[in-house]
Amino acid sequence: MKTYVSDAVAFLYYMIDKLPPSSNEAFKEAETGEAVIYLPTIAAAELFYLFDAKRWFDKQAEMQRRMEGSPNLRCYPFDRETLLQSKKSRAKDIHDKIIIATTRVLKAEALLTKDEEIRKLGEVKTTW
């Protein structure tokens, strides 16, 4: 089974049905049971923060329903292995370091991200 990691923006775009074709295909694979998409807890926290700040409580509830309703959409914890991997990244932002590290730890097919800085680093395969 394929494994992907999603950053906060990709997951939000999934929720509002605005993903470009490549990332959308990965989410379709998860919906049909052909793949698992992991959302690092730091990305989930970013989304919860956004939803609270914008008062998008319906989106927060929707995200929880989607995560709980699908065995192929999973949160991935910030564990010791991820912490150690994050030190190896050249990313400037700690959130990006953790997301890249999660992708490495899971040996994911790709990181689903729109983030140009992450994509330019070339540390992990990315898809948008």
Start-to-end CA distance of the chain, whole Å, equals 20
Question: Domain limits at 16?
Answer: 2-127
Work out the number of other CB atoms within 10 angstroms of the CB of residue 10: 28
pLDDT for the residue numbered 103: 98
pLDDT for the residue numbered 125: 98
Residue 68: give its domain's CATH number.
3.40.50.1010
pLDDT for the residue numbered 106: 98
pLDDT for the residue numbered 122: 97
pLDDT for the residue numbered 16: 94
Number of domains in the chain: 1
Nearest to 30 by CA among 87, 73, 61, 67: 73
> Residue 125: beta bridge partners?
none
pLDDT along the chain (128 residues), means of 10: 98 96 97 97 97 93 92 97 97 97 98 97 98
Nearest to 38 by CA among 124, 120, 122: 124
